[in-house]
Amino acid sequence: MTLPQYAMGTQYDEKMASRPREETVHGEERTRRKKHRALLPMIVALAIIYFTTNSVRRGLHHDHHAGRGEVGQAVKTALDVGYRHIDDARVYRNEEEVGAAVFESGYKREDVWLTSKLWNDHHDPRDVETLNTTYLDLFLIHWPIAFNRDGSVYNKELTDDPFPTWQKMEEMVAKGKVRNIGVSNFNIWRLSKLLSHPNITIPPAINQVELNFYNPQPGLLAWAKEHNILIEAYSPLGGDGQVGRTLNLPVVKEIAAELDITPAQVIISWHVQRGTVVLPKSVTPARIEENLQVTRLPDALFEKLEAAAVGHKPQRTLNPSESWGLPFDLFE
């Protein structure tokens, strides 16, 4: 059974979708917070699977980039096979190419969901509002670590208290420059601290994190669900060095054979069934299309894969704490 291209188990509120946008971003504080929480299903109404333009990231520093035009063509392919969510970031250095690809694809801007992320050296409120588009559907704080404006590590004040950055993002929502705001790579402690700020008016809609078989994060998933924060999974098939291992796991291959689907489709379907938005990455047309095919796993098979995933010590592949010279682990 093929799942519809919206969040399984997430109800899309058509009444909410038909309301004027201004109604969802203005008004008394409590009403605004309530309405922005109600916007969460809209984030995945078009497609549960994002196409990420960070197609060739290897580690943090992006040492290997796709050739000129390769990402743009991959975006066009993704749109043609059914993707409607494009995940980008300033640090991927391809926003112009991605924007041109969306424009040239012929799809209406309102039919494509664009996400971008604020890089570490732009946490200063004076720098937050520098966008390369008329509006974004979703804008995320890329990492909870703020750099200084000159790029040096790190700005302790804005790292300890990200609210000044967040408040500027709230203002961007009010101005119509951004439709929804969220975070990335935040742990429960950092999310709790932001949510508990007395002046917050718009809670994070999304937390985008490394999430896969080897780093399943069941505690974060449960906590986020309780607080109406949607989790997006990047590196869903595994981080660097893990993808091949993931796709060759006996439990994954067994489920793939039983359901007559590929191992990659097993893993992506598992993510969707957990209630997460998935961010696969590829510049290969066949693989782009393959990653969009989602199947409902029978409960017994889903539970079998879930038990295997949470039954081992978590293995995170992307943690820049040491390379940034931080005096602490940003995930602890």
Dist. CA 146–CA 162, nearest whole Å: 8
Per-residue pLDDT of the chain (332 residues; tens, 9 = 90+): 222 232 222 222 222 233 333 333 334 444 444 444 434 333 333 344 555 655 433 222 222 345 567 788 888 888 887 878 888 877 777 777 888 888 888 888 888 888 889 888 888 777 677 665 678 899 999 999 999 988 898 999 999 999 999 999 999 999 998 999 999 999 999 999 999 999 999 999 999 999 999 999 999 999 999 999 999 999 999 998 999 999 999 999 999 999 999 999 999 999 999 999 887 766 677 777 776 778 899 999 999 999 999 999 999 999 999 999 999 999 99
Dist. CA 245–CA 249, nearest whole Å: 6
Pairing of strands 51-52, 277-279: unpaired
Domain extent for 234: 14-310
Q: What CATH number should be reported for the domain holding residue 97?
A: 3.20.20.100
pTM comes to 0.79
Q: Does any domain span residue 92?
A: yes
- Say what the pLDDT of residue 67 is: 58
Q: Does any domain span residue 325?
A: no
Q: Does any domain span residue 179?
A: yes
Short-list 269, 315, 264, CA closest to 286: 264
Q: Does any domain span residue 317?
A: no
Give the total number of structural domains in the chain.
1
Q: Does any domain span residue 59?
A: yes
Q: Does any domain span residue 114?
A: yes
Q: Does any domain span residue 140?
A: yes
- Say what the pLDDT of residue 105 is: 86
Q: Does any domain span residue 216?
A: yes
Position of tokens 């742990």? 187
From 12, 50, 83, 92, active-site residue? 92
Long-range Cβ contact pairs of 251-260 (< 8 A, separation 24 or more): 251/304, 251/305, 251/308, 252/213, 252/305, 255/297, 255/301, 255/304, 255/305, 258/301, 259/295, 259/297, 259/301
Catalytic-residue membership of 154? no
